[in-house]
Structure 1
Amino acid sequence: MEIGGFLEFPELKDTERKESAYYYLTHLYDNYNFFADGRQAIKAVLLNTGDILNKTCYLPAYLCDSILQSFRELELDVKFYPHRELLKPVLDGKIKDSLVYLIDYFGTEPVSEKEIGEILDGNNMVILDVSHSILDEKRFSLTHENFYLISSLRKTFPIPDGGIVYHSDPNFKSSDIPPIKYEKKLEAMLLRKLYLNETDTHGTDTDMAEKSKWVKEHFLNLNQEYESYKYDSTVEPQSIPLTSCYILKNISMTDITDRRWQNLNFMHKEILKRDLLLFNQDKIKSPFILTLKFKNENERDSTRKRLIENDVYPPVLWDLKAYIPEEFSYERHLSKRILMVPIDQRYGPGEMSKVRDILNSAEMV
């Protein structure tokens, strides 16, 4: 039983239209546009901003480098802003006529609607990244001509790729360019589903184990090829894969949100080492992932190693030191102590109990 890794191809079901993930995503906001991935959604917003070259862009010092990609390609003026505890942004109240990029981290919403409104009052443009909070429909109540919400949908939904922009601009330009290379990710998802089914069915059968090993190597290579392509290519807005739309129309939002909340609630209740939890549960508005913090990097790495030895695979961590200046010590230090554990809709009490037992028995170094 493996836990974690990218989402495999899901079990599709005959889902009532209003119950589907597609219906949910397309009824959060009056105006929206799909794209092939999250970074393309960012690029589209930037390209739709006429005076973007004249704006200073304030980005959080705790972020994935894929967010930076479009800003770098357009050679925009980027400045990072710091955070205090629990990833609360520290923004200069004097920022005017600029772009401010905010992130809802790990299902929390560190910037309130009121605070976003105050930023917008300075004639600023705000991009709110809701990739981690897409399951909280209350987050979509604020509308403003200079306010955009973007999400990388594959972080929550089992699709080969997809991104979305929510906005209030009736003249927003989308893209009808067909998506490129997503078939590699789709094949990887299908092979991963086959692999998981075979390993669950045949267990320790020697011949099947050898075959499964080859299948796993192949889907991991396909996934890496796709990720490398995205990093090595210039971001160009493209349309969302039709396969992604089909999947979204045939998976249930209730199944996704209920299972995620059940798993998150279970882990918060069952973990004995309470100081491991980065956030109190009342701070979490969207059930994205279980976020843990450790005293130091050695403790984190030791626990991560133990999880992997037991076939639990935490997500890849952001390597801030490669692109965030040393002056942002809180963010760089946090990145060495943080660990995320999957709690998504693929898993139930059995898998969560396994993770709980590993975390509760782990010795801190």
Structure 2
Amino acid sequence: MSIGGYNELNLHNRNTEIQPSAYQFQSARAALYAYLNATKIKTLYVPNYICDSIFPALRALSVEIKFYSVNEQLLPIDYPKLTKKSDSRILLVNYFGLLNEQIKTLTAIEPGLFIVDNSQALFCEHIEGTTSIYSPRKFLGIPDGGFLRTAEKISVPETRYDASENVGHLLLRAAGDVKAGYARFLSAEEALECFIPKRMSVISAHLIKCAGINAIKEKRQRNYRLLYTEFKSFNQLDLPIDNQVPLCYPLQLAFDITSICNEFITKSIYLPRYWRSDFNGDVGRAMYENTLFIPIDERISSDELKNLIKLIKNKL
């Protein structure tokens, strides 16, 4: 305990815990690297719709990469049938946090053969027997962080990630200066490209303790349900609406959405694109080229979301 001295940010410690049984690293890709390095996995089957950021870590470990395809419901259609003693694993992506129940079904028979990428599904429960990876910074205002849940014994390094140089974008965003914070955001993301495992920073660990998780979950679910209702008749995707806590609302249209995204930037509306990759199959290309990923996080007011719905419908 320290008394006196310089002031600090006034953050309320709620003692929030997320995946308390998980190994904690600086990023999801570092968590994946740590698992593969510890288990000496030789081959990883990955979907042909995935973020390229995992590939440098796989190549550094000389893990052979084999692709399988996903269908229009973003579920695998041709991954191999492995045996319990296999030195291979199958990576399943819980896209946008919308496939919880489907992944439970897919992993039910041989859970130990699956790595579930929950980078977009922070609040999805870990499936016993599988290995799960989470990326809390996609849902929370933290500079770094990656969780790993596995039955394997993993060595966590003593060295912590130093996030002190990479929190400026969070403060600028909180102060309302989004444009000024963007360059710092890119710098912070670049710093996390190093996948050599470190422990999650003390800054992120503390910010997680201050997060109002219940309010975050409720707002995301409420916003998702509203968008689902408003766009169900337009959406080319048929994704479920259950009790999940999604990352965003994916709205797939019958045309290229690049011009809409560019126009919205001029209105200070920033929609991400998931993902441009040379490895994308037909489904992945349609997701990148034709899909609006509409934010649903707790910062968006009801009026802002209704205005965004109106703007999008004017383009349909």
> How would you bin the TM-score normalised by the shorter chain?
0.7 to 0.9
Residue in 1 that maps onto 2:213: 253
Residue in 2 that maps onto 1:143: 128
Residue in 1 that maps onto 2:187: 225
Please list, as runs of the form range in 1=range in 2, the aligned pairs for 1:252-291 lying within 5 A after superposition: 252-271=212-231, 274-276=233-235, 278-282=237-241, 285-291=244-250
Measured in 1, the distance between the counterparts of 2:131 and 2:79 equals: 20
Identical-residue share of aligned pairs (%): 24
Residue in 2 that maps onto 1:175: 157
Q: Alignment partner for residue 106 of structure 2, among 103, 115, 121? A: 115
Measured in 2, the distance between the counterparts of 1:216 and 1:333 equals: 29
Residue in 1 that maps onto 2:169: 188
2:221 and 2:244 in contact (8 A); partners too? no
> Could you tell me which amino acid in structure 2 is paired with residue 172 of structure 1?
I
Measured in 2, the distance between the counterparts of 1:113 and 1:252 equals: 27
> Could you tell me which amino acid in structure 2 is paired with residue 64 of structure 1?
C
1:36 and 1:161 in contact (8 A); partners too? yes
Query: For residues 112 and 283 of structure 1, do their structure 2 counterparts lie closer, same or farther at Cα, with a shift above 3 Å needed?
Result: same
Cα displacement (A) at 1:257: 0.4
Query: For residues 113 and 216 of structure 1, do their structure 2 counterparts lie closer, same or farther at Cα, with a shift above 3 Å needed?
Result: closer
Residue 25 of structure 1 aligns to a residue whose secondary structure is coil
Residue 71 of structure 1 aligns to a residue whose secondary structure is helix
CA deviation vs aligned residue, 1:243-284 (integer Å, no higher than 9, x gap): 11111111211111011112112222234x722363444267
Query: For residues 250 and 94 of structure 1, do their structure 2 counterparts lie closer, same or farther at Cα, with a shift above 3 Å needed?
Result: closer
Residue 241 of structure 2 aligns to a residue whose secondary structure is helix
Residue in 1 that maps onto 2:48: 61
1:129 aligns with 2:117: yes
Cα displacement (A) at 1:115: 1.9
Measured in 1, the distance between the counterparts of 2:13 and 2:61 equals: 43
Q: Alignment partner for residue 46 of structure 1, among 27, 30, 36? A: 36
Measured in 1, the distance between the counterparts of 2:32 and 2:173 equals: 29
> Could you tell me which amino acid in structure 2 is paired with residue 71 of structure 1?
L
Residue in 1 that maps onto 2:199: 239
Measured in 2, the distance between the counterparts of 1:13 and 1:354 equals: 32
Measured in 2, the distance between the counterparts of 1:134 and 1:348 equals: 22
> What TM-score, normalized to structure 2?
0.88
Higher helix proportion: 1
2:235 and 2:252 in contact (8 A); partners too? yes
What residue ranges of structure 1 are gaps of 5+ in the alignment? Answer: 1-9, 197-211
- Across the aligned residues of Structure 1 and Structure 2, the Cα RMSD in angstroms comes to 2.3
CA deviation vs aligned residue, 1:179-211 (integer Å, no higher than 9, x gap): 14x3333112112222x1xxxxxxxxxxxxxxx
Measured in 1, the distance between the counterparts of 2:236 and 2:294 equals: 11
What residue ranges of structure 2 are gaps of 5+ in the alignment? Answer: 1-8
Query: For residues 229 and 190 of structure 1, do their structure 2 counterparts lie closer, same or farther at Cα, with a shift above 3 Å needed?
Result: same
CA deviation vs aligned residue, 1:31-74 (integer Å, no higher than 9, x gap): 4211011111111111110x32xx32101111111122211211
> What TM-score, normalized to structure 1?
0.77
Measured in 2, the distance between the counterparts of 1:166 and 1:216 equals: 36
Query: For residues 128 and 303 of structure 1, do their structure 2 counterparts lie closer, same or farther at Cα, with a shift above 3 Å needed?
Result: same
Query: For residues 347 and 360 of structure 1, do their structure 2 counterparts lie closer, same or farther at Cα, with a shift above 3 Å needed?
Result: same
Please list, as runs of the form range in 1=range in 2, the aligned pairs for 1:208-357 lying within 5 A after superposition: 216-217=179-180, 219-231=181-193, 233=194, 235-271=195-231, 274-276=233-235, 278-282=237-241, 285-297=244-256, 300-321=257-278, 324=279, 328-357=281-310
Residue 220 of structure 2 aligns to a residue whose secondary structure is helix
1:60 and 1:82 in contact (8 A); partners too? yes
Larger RCO of the pair (alpha carbons < 8 Å, separation 6+): 1
1:306 and 1:358 in contact (8 A); partners too? no
Cα displacement (A) at 1:150: 0.5
Q: Alignment partner for residue 101 of structure 1, among 88, 91, 104? A: 91
Residue 44 of structure 2 aligns to a residue whose secondary structure is strand
CA deviation vs aligned residue, 1:96-144 (integer Å, no higher than 9, x gap): 4111111100121174323213344xxx6321011222223xx32x322
Residue 57 of structure 1 aligns to a residue whose secondary structure is strand
> Could you tell me which amino acid in structure 1 is paired with residue 205 of structure 2?
C
Measured in 1, the distance between the counterparts of 2:13 and 2:146 equals: 24
Query: For residues 167 and 308 of structure 1, do their structure 2 counterparts lie closer, same or farther at Cα, with a shift above 3 Å needed?
Result: same
> Could you tell me which amino acid in structure 2 is paired with residue 143 of structure 1?
E
